[in-house]
Structure 1
Amino acid sequence: MSGWGNAESAAYREAAYTEVEGDGGSRGFGRPLDGVRVLAVEQMQALPYATQMLARLGAEVIKVEARDGGDSGRGSLPSMADPDGRPVGATFLRNNFGKRSIAVDLKNPEGLAVVHALAAKADVVCENFKAGVAGRLGLGFEDIAAINPRAVYLSVSGFGNTRETPYATWPAYAPVVEGMAGLYEFKRPPGVPPIVSPLGGLGDTGSALFAVIGVLAALRHREATGRGQYVDIAMYDAMIALNDTGIGYWSMGLEHGGLAPLINDAFMARDGYVIVQCGRPHMFEALARLVGRTEWLDDPRLAGPQDWFDHLDDVIRPGIEAWAADKTRREACAALTAAGIASGPVNTPADVIADPHVKSRDMLVAMDRTDDVPGPVLTPGNPVKLSLAEEQPETRVPWLGEHTDDVLRDELGLSDAEITHLREAGAVGAADA
């Protein structure tokens, strides 16, 4: 891909560390999912994040998008314009590296036949429609199993498809299932409304990670049995799993969930906040000595973790923040960690981008913008580091229907005349349509 051609973009490029490239050929030992073929009828984030992870591990992902408009994530905000001036939203830009896009009208019999033909050659077929929609379209588990009994079928939905649930007809986005799973009650002060989406799309990305685990397990099971199976991921289930602490604490008498008896809070330093976790007597002794409050060690009010918690705001916080007032976050954390106390700075996005750890671990990817706006779009990289699988260059997100003709020709062996017929019949679309 071409450079940005200005100093600001060059600075972003240096900060982002890992650039998107056009091709990502295997080097060394290759990648663990090389040769695995994934057909993804997907939109927004919960499933696209999962298939992007599979692509980063080596899978070949064909993304099926609606012929008219494509993945609804393309319509999210903020957005940039693609080379043809169509908007490409932030949700799409951060979830679709390494995929090929084919635009299909699934309600057109010839379009559905194209998807069925691709499913017959796939190792994994996946969808994230609202419950029941895939079946009505002819893309349910039974439909795919009849075509390809070896295919692993992955469904990601709000409340699942294989067990009875009172929420079967409910639409679900990340904050809906996060709230339902109790995550918004974790450490919520009384009388303060819940903060919605405090971690962005956790309901999507967290569910996606369980989806990847399920696919890998099902592929391994197929090696032993020769059969595919249904991997059914409910976003609500995934968020309950991530709320293990809150549910466990509640069951053991801490009715407010996250208010565990220890020091586990943010404290103000000169340029922002630092996180400090201290739950053991030897840590508390080290903390008291570090901040110059040795009197805490003999204070009967501070005899143990529950006492530290009870006197966090009237005793502990003033002592720590007085000590940290002339120190930057980094300086305070360096001193705390040297004393054996777990701590870390509360970073802004700009801090994360500039962090040397992030550079060392290749944890940011920069994608050139295509609308003359300075600077790239930055997206988190792959957190899975494998010692025998060298990280490959990222391939940018696909434009709508960019690979339709190539997929039909290379994967299904269709002639130019057959492809033209499908396009004229409205069954498929292409980048030049």
Structure 2
Amino acid sequence: MTLGAPDSHARPLAGVRVLALEQMQALPYATQLLARLGADVVKIEPPSGDSGRGSRPAMADPEGRPVGATFLRNNFGKRSLCVDLKDPRGRDLVLALAPRFDVIAENSKAGAMSRLGLGYDDIARVHPAGIYVSVSGFGNTVPTPYGSWPAFAPIVEAMSGIYEMKREGDDPPRVAPVGALGDIGAALFATIGVLAALRHRETTGRGQYVDIAMLDSVIAMTDIVSNFWSMGLRGGDTGPLIMHGFRAKDGWFILQVGREQHFAKLADLIGHPEWKTDPRLSTRQGWVDHLEPVLRPAIESWSAPHTKIEACQLLGRAGIAAGPCLSDEELVTDPHIRARDMLVALPRTDGVAQPVLTPGNPVRLSAHTPPPETRPPWLGEHTETVLAAELGLSPTALADLRAGGVIS
């Protein structure tokens, strides 16, 4: 997918305006998704910038300041307003801006915005119809023993039980095995909450508080931990099915067989029809019990002459679910990824030829043709234009605020 300027494509959330006091990924991914669906998102950053700008790896912006990977992949289509919220004048700017926006969103540590005078009650006083969204580690509206804890994605992922469920023997937990599950999961639930609150406001005229806890979100996404425990499975047991990795000529592929009819198809495909009448393999538990001594050698003998893609193609034609384990290079050149336009190429501004690749928009709507992506904003790039347009501040007033360190 290429970058370009905003255009007039019909967009599902056109007219929705979001004021985002955000950092890192849990909320920025949500507001980026809203922007990709047509919302106008203005991002408020402190003078030092969103902490995601300080992540590594990084590239340099046109002024030589580092812009980290976390920021680059979560802020397409936004404008950046740089305000010192710790200065009462900065807080007052946000309170003056809030009534001009449909959604006011923040993802600071629980209670931080209230201490700055920008919590839900503060915003609701000046904008009763506003939708206020908080994304935090453990939520803002219900007392919890973890309420004062800072949180990043791996923290809540660990607390969801999935790390311990997947840990083997005395090995340490494998941290962040799927990237930022805790961040993206919370972002998706925040987006759903915003859409529901917008619909509620259409019918009632009232705003409300959308409170998202990252831990709650990950518990929802790692549902097997509590569900399987309640049904008698312990110690990471996921039940009797084949859901394992197998070797092919050039790497690994994943095979999932959980139904008898699929096991029969597998037996026929790899040349072992006798498995269908083998009493050792007559139950799903038997498949698991005999995976290493019987099934794996036969499956990998069959797949050895094939590439992992070829093996999965043959399995798929037989009606058996399988997928190759792609390397990073294989992923970025994959024909599916290219056909679905799922990578955005962001040209670098520091002389490096290889563009920065970030995921595109996974939401495809038949009545919406996505316009070209617009790059993430440089720090404070839109501060003066936003304040002049929204609040009518004069050049003199803006210069005074800038001189006082309130804006930058």
Aligned pair 1:24/2:6, yes or no?
Answer: yes
Residues 326-335 or 409-418, more deviating: 409-418
**1:305 to partner: Cα distance:** 1.0
**1:248 to partner: Cα distance:** 1.0
- Inter-partner Cα distance in structure 2 for 1:76 and 1:137: 25
- Inter-partner Cα distance in structure 2 for 1:162 and 1:271: 51
Aligned pair 1:237/2:203, yes or no?
Answer: no
Does structure 2 retain, via aligned residues, the 8 Å contact 1:187–1:259? no
Does structure 2 retain, via aligned residues, the 8 Å contact 1:160–1:234? yes
1:395 is matched with: 374
SS at match of 1:411: helix
Residue 357 of structure 1 aligns with an amino acid whose one-letter code is H
Residue 362 of structure 1 aligns with an amino acid whose one-letter code is D
- Inter-partner Cα distance in structure 2 for 1:99 and 1:162: 28
Alignment of 1:156-175 (within 5 A): 156-175=135-154
- Inter-partner Cα distance in structure 1 for 2:236 and 2:33: 32
2:238 is matched with: 259
Residue 69 of structure 2 aligns with an amino acid whose one-letter code is A
Contiguous gaps of at least 5 residues in structure 1? 1-17
Match of 1:342 among 318, 321, 324: 321
Does structure 2 retain, via aligned residues, the 8 Å contact 1:125–1:154? yes
Alignment of 1:135-146 (within 5 A): 135-146=114-125
Alignment of 1:93-242 (within 5 A): 93-242=72-221
- Inter-partner Cα distance in structure 1 for 2:116 and 2:366: 42
2:59 is matched with: 80
**1:246 to partner: Cα distance:** 2.3
**1:192 to partner: Cα distance:** 2.3
- Inter-partner Cα distance in structure 2 for 1:164 and 1:197: 27
**1:410 to partner: Cα distance:** 1.3
**1:86 to partner: Cα distance:** 0.4
SS at match of 1:428: coil
- Inter-partner Cα distance in structure 2 for 1:135 and 1:158: 16
**1:309 to partner: Cα distance:** 1.1
Match of 2:13 among 27, 33, 46: 33
Match of 1:287 among 266, 270, 274: 266
- Inter-partner Cα distance in structure 2 for 1:341 and 1:187: 25
1:4 is matched with: none
Per-residue CA deviation, residues 11-64 of structure 1 (Å, 9 max, x unaligned), is: xxxxxxx1122x12122xx11110111000000110101100010010000000
> TM-score by structure 1 length?
0.93
Aligned pair 1:42/2:42, yes or no?
Answer: no
Match of 2:295 among 310, 313, 316: 316
Per-residue CA deviation, residues 196-237 of structure 1 (Å, 9 max, x unaligned), is: 110111100111000000000001000111011000000000
- Inter-partner Cα distance in structure 1 for 2:87 and 2:172: 47
- Inter-partner Cα distance in structure 1 for 2:80 and 2:178: 29
Q: Cα RMSD between the aligned structures?
A: 1.0
Residue 394 of structure 2 aligns with an amino acid whose one-letter code is S
**1:312 to partner: Cα distance:** 1.2
- Inter-partner Cα distance in structure 2 for 1:59 and 1:20: 17
SS at match of 1:178: helix
Per-residue CA deviation, residues 55-77 of structure 1 (Å, 9 max, x unaligned), is: 0010000000001x110010000
- Inter-partner Cα distance in structure 1 for 2:92 and 2:141: 26
Match of 2:277 among 278, 298, 301: 298
- Inter-partner Cα distance in structure 1 for 2:402 and 2:93: 12
Q: Percent identity?
A: 60
**1:298 to partner: Cα distance:** 2.1
- Compared CA separation, residues 258 and 46, structure 1 to 2 (3 A): farther
1:52 is matched with: 32
1:11 is matched with: none
**1:190 to partner: Cα distance:** 2.7
SS at match of 1:171: coil
- Compared CA separation, residues 258 and 44, structure 1 to 2 (3 A): farther
- Inter-partner Cα distance in structure 1 for 2:354 and 2:237: 40
2:337 is matched with: 358
- Inter-partner Cα distance in structure 2 for 1:402 and 1:70: 11
- Inter-partner Cα distance in structure 2 for 1:207 and 1:247: 19
- Inter-partner Cα distance in structure 2 for 1:259 and 1:216: 34
**1:258 to partner: Cα distance:** 4.8
- Compared CA separation, residues 237 and 151, structure 1 to 2 (3 A): same
Residues 102-111 or 37-46, more deviating: 102-111
- Inter-partner Cα distance in structure 2 for 1:221 and 1:166: 31
- Inter-partner Cα distance in structure 1 for 2:165 and 2:371: 39
Task: Report how many residues are paired.
Answer: 408
- Compared CA separation, residues 297 and 326, structure 1 to 2 (3 A): same
- Inter-partner Cα distance in structure 1 for 2:224 and 2:116: 40
Contiguous gaps of at least 5 residues in structure 2? none
Does structure 2 retain, via aligned residues, the 8 Å contact 1:151–1:227? yes
- Inter-partner Cα distance in structure 2 for 1:305 and 1:286: 14
